[in-house]
Amino acid sequence: MRSPSDFVSIHDARRQAPLHFEARADNARFTACILYSTLPTELLGQLTDSAGYGGSPKIAMYEGFIREATLALELIVKAVIAQRLELQVAPEGVSTIRTTHDLPSLWKDAGLRTLARKDQALLVAAKRVLIWSGRYAAPKSDADLVREEKAYEALFPRTKGSIFSKPADYIDWDGFDRIYQIAAGEFWDLRRK
């Protein structure tokens, strides 16, 4: 007879299901694509009027795009980790899909190839969106912001006389999708094994 400990809850199964993460990532990527695309001005005006919206529609749509795009990145990277765990080929020390939004460290957990500095910076910017800037007016503490700045500084050291160490936090479709496709390609390569 089976004991209650022999059963896995649906939630435990989903927390480890590679295709569940991939499907959620694909949905978020699709939504990001729609939000990034240019809606006809007439339709945008109608939507603004019908919603009683008084802000800038372009800013609102861009903010929606970066929330969905960064969520898509987190989910596709977690799909790779889940797939590696299922195949028992995860990097040493990786035994679970961590509940974190720290995209640079999740990228390492997934065993994905090292990115160019500008793409590493995009992961740092995406982490910022996921943790606070996509939802809140400011980070939980100034110390959190200092840690973010140090992550950028490690990628883009300040040159003598420069006050800036990092590229702009701007995330566009091409940069996002380039990184997404690296992780998605690895995911599907692993699925074929």
How many structural domains does the chain have? 1
- pTM recorded for the entire structure: 0.86
Note whether residue 9 is domain-resident: no
Note whether residue 2 is domain-resident: no
The DSSP secondary structure of 76-103, one letter per residue, reads HHHHHHHHHHHHT-PPTT--S--S---H
pLDDT tens for each residue of the chain, 193 residues long:
666 667 778 877 777 889 999 999 999 999 999 999 876 677 888 888 899 999 988 888 999 999 999 999 999 999 999 999 999 999 999 999 999 999 999 999 999 999 998 899 899 999 999 998 888 888 788 887 788 788 877 877 765 555 554 555 678 999 999 999 999 999 999 999 8
Note whether residue 1 is domain-resident: no
Domain that holds residue 63: 14-191
Note whether residue 63 is domain-resident: yes
DSSP 141: -
Note whether residue 143 is domain-resident: yes
* Residues 146, 136: Cα–Cα separation, whole Å: 17
- The residues near 134 (Cβ < 8 Å, ≥ 6 apart) are 63, 66, 67, 70
